Structure 1
Amino acid sequence: MAENESHCSSALAKPMREICEEDWRRSHGGGTGGGITGGASDNVRDFAESVIKKIIALVAPKDAWAPKSADSALYEPFLWLGQHLAVAVFVCVVVVCGLTAWQGAPRLRQMGASTGWTLAAVAGMATVPGTVMMLNKAVSAAFTTAFNSNESTLFKVILNDLQQGADKDVPLAKLLTVSALVVALAPAALVFITRNLGILAFVCMAPLVLASLARGGDTTAVKTWTMRLLGLMFCPFALILVSPFVQLAHGSLVVDTVLLLAADALMLRMVFHGIPYFGPKVARGARTVVERRTDNRVAHAVVRAGAPDVYEQENAPRPRRTVNTPGRAVHQDRGVLLAAYGVRQQQKRSGRPTPQSAAAHAAERSDRSAQIKAARSQVRASGSPPTPSPAAAPSSPAPAPATGAGRPSTP
Structure 2
Amino acid sequence: MPDKDPCALLKDAARQYCNSGQGKGAGGGDGADSGLTDGASSHVQDLAQWLITKVTNLVAPGRTWAPQSADNPVYQSFMWLGQHLAIAIFVCVIVVCALTAWQGAPRLQQMGNSTGWTLVAVTGMASVPGAVVLLNNAVAQAFTAAFDSDEVALFSVIRADLKSASDSGNPLAILCIVSALCVALAFAGLVFMTRQPGILVFVCMAPLILASLARGGDMSAVQAWAQRLLGLMFAPFALLLVAPFVSMARGSLVLDTVLLVAADVLMLRMVFHGVPYFGPKVAGLARSMVESRTDNRVVRGIMKAGSPDVWEQESIPRQPRMVPTPKRAMGQDSNALAAAYGLKARTQPGRMTTASAIAQVEHDAERRTLIMDARRAARTAHNPRRPANANSRPTPGSPPSAGAGGPTTP
Q: TM-score range by the shorter chain?
A: 0.5 to 0.7
Say which of 4, 10, 26 aligns to 2:21: 26
Per-residue Cα deviation, 1:309-343 (whole angstroms, up to 9, x for no partner): xxxxxxx9998899996x65542211111111111
Contact persistence 1:231–1:270 (CA under 8 A): no
1:144-293 matched pairs, under 5 angstroms: 144-274=144-274
Query: What does 1:68-217 correspond to in 2, within 5 Å?
Result: 68-217=68-217
1:249-290 deviations in Å (ceiling 9; x for gaps):
131111111111111211221333159xxxxxxxxxxxxxxx
**What do residues 352-386 of structure 1 show as CA deviations (whole Å, max 9, x unaligned)?**
664899xxxxxxxxxxxxxxxxxxxxxxxxxxxxx
1:45-85 CA distance string (max 9 Å, x none) = 11100111011111111111111100111111111100000
Evaluate the alpha carbon distance shift between residue 218 and residue 324 of structure 1 in structure 2; reply closer, same or farther with a 3 A threshold.
farther
Secondary structure (helix, strand or coil) at the match of 2:205 reads helix
Does the CA contact (< 8 Å) of 1:121 and 1:214 recur in 2?
yes
> 1:177 touches 1:254 (CA, 8 Å); kept in 2?
yes
Please tell me whether Structure 1 or Structure 2 has the larger radius of gyration of its CA atoms.
1
User: Matched residue pairs, number?
Assistant: 298
* 2:94/2:111 contact within 8 Å kept: yes
| Cα separation, 2, equivalents of 1:270 and 1:317 | 36
Deviates more, 1:45-54 or 1:99-108: 99-108
**Offset at residue 26 of structure 1 (A):** 3.0
Equivalent position SS for 1:61: coil
Distance 1:23 1:267, change over 3 A: closer
Confirm or deny that 1:338 pairs with 2:338. Answer: yes
Q: Is the 8 A contact 2:157 2:250 kept in 1?
A: no
Q: For 2:118 and 2:130, locate their aligned partners in 1 and report how far apart those are by CA, in whole Å.
A: 20
Change (3 A) 1:239 1:141: same
Question: Partner amino acid for 2:77?
Answer: P
Change (3 A) 1:113 1:324: farther
What letter matches 2:73 in structure 1?
A
Distance in structure 1 (CA, Å) of the matches to 2:226 and 2:323: 23
The 1-side partners of 2:329 and 2:37 are apart by 52
| Alpha-carbon distance change, 346 to 24 in structure 1, aligned in 2, over 3 angstroms | closer
Distance in 1 (CA, whole Å) between partners of 2:212 and 2:240 is: 36
Gaps of 5+ in 1: 1-19, 276-315, 358-411
> Alignment RMSD, CA only?
2.9
Offset of residue 345 of structure 1: 2.6
Query: Which whole-Å CA distance do the structure 2 matches of 1:336 and 1:208 have between them?
Result: 13
Please give the alpha-carbon distance, in whole angstroms, between the structure 2 residues aligned to 1:39 and 1:150. Answer: 26
146 and 342 in structure 1: CA distance in 2 versus 1, 3 angstrom threshold: same
Moved more, 187-196 or 342-351: 342-351
CA separation of 1:103/1:252 partners in 2, compared to 1, >3 Å: closer, same or farther?
same
Worse overlay, 146-155 or 167-176:
146-155
Q: What is the TM-score when the length of structure 1 is the normalising length?
A: 0.67
AA partner of residue 97 (structure 2): C
Q: Distance in 1 between matches of 2:207 and 2:244?
A: 41
Unaligned runs of 5+ in 2: 1-14, 26-30, 276-316, 365-410
Q: 1:37 Cα shift? A: 1.8
Q: Percent identity?
A: 59
Q: Tell me the amino acid that sits aligned with residue 240 of structure 1.
A: L
Bigger RCO (CA 8 Å, 6+ sep): 1
